[in-house]
Homo-oligomer: A and B are copies of this chain.
Amino acid sequence: VILAEPGCTGRINRVQTIGVFGGTGQQGRGLAARLSAAGQRVVLGSRDAARAVAVAERLGRGVRGADNAQCAREADVVIVAVPWAGHQELLTALRPELVGVIVVNCVNPLGFDDRGAYGLSVPEGSACEQAARLLPDSVVVGAFHHVSAELLLDASQSTVDIDVFVVGDDRAATDQVQALADSIPGMRGIYAGRLRTARHIEGLTANLIAINRRYTTRSGLRLTGGQW
């Protein structure tokens, strides 16, 4: 047990269990696979517990499945990897279970039409800020927005060579989420600003989708210029 820094809520610095909401979707499964391979304890959450258990069994490495509420109760950190359409409802329902939990949001509020992907207008400014409004007793951090699910699930790729932008207002929490990203080989967690800047990170996914379409690739981002 690591002692919490002053100002931290109780559950933040213990040995971690990572819950993944939307854990049966592509992004969720991909993150669960990489995090469990990196030695993290992972619980997949889904509305359908049986489905979460079945997907978890296929992932192996001790990954477990549960319904979302049970997943939230077991987790120190949850990753929200659900479609934008279900974001508000899910977090509203799980507010009691998420008290004191670090909520890592990687939801991209995007629309699609015949000209491609585009950022949707969100009343709170971003999915992260909506999560923070819905979960006043949790610590919301944005991260993992730009990770290609296909790349995460591609077992032939031993590393995930991207930088993960981590945004949030709580330094202990952003540090912890950076460390989580760092635990995946090739990946680096980079602090990239306050939660109010999450909107740009989320929206940039529309640009990466355009890049992937034009160049037929699975693009990721790396920062140049620094000692990270």
Q: Which residues of A contact B (CB under 8 A)?
A: 115-119, 148, 151, 161-162, 165, 167, 190-194, 196-197, 199-201, 203-204, 206-211, 214-215, 217-228
Contacts and interface: CB of A to CB of B under 8 A. Distances in A.
This chain: how many copies in the complex?
A: 2
A227 B215 contact: yes
A199 B209 CA distance: 15
6 A-B pairs closest in CB distance: A193-B210, A217-B226, A200-B203, A192-B207, A220-B224, A200-B204
Q: Is the interface of A mostly helix, strand, loop or mixed?
A: mixed
A223 B194 contact: no
A84 to B, nearest CB: 15
Contacts of A209: 193
A207 B167 CA distance: 9
Contacts of A203: 197, 199-200, 203
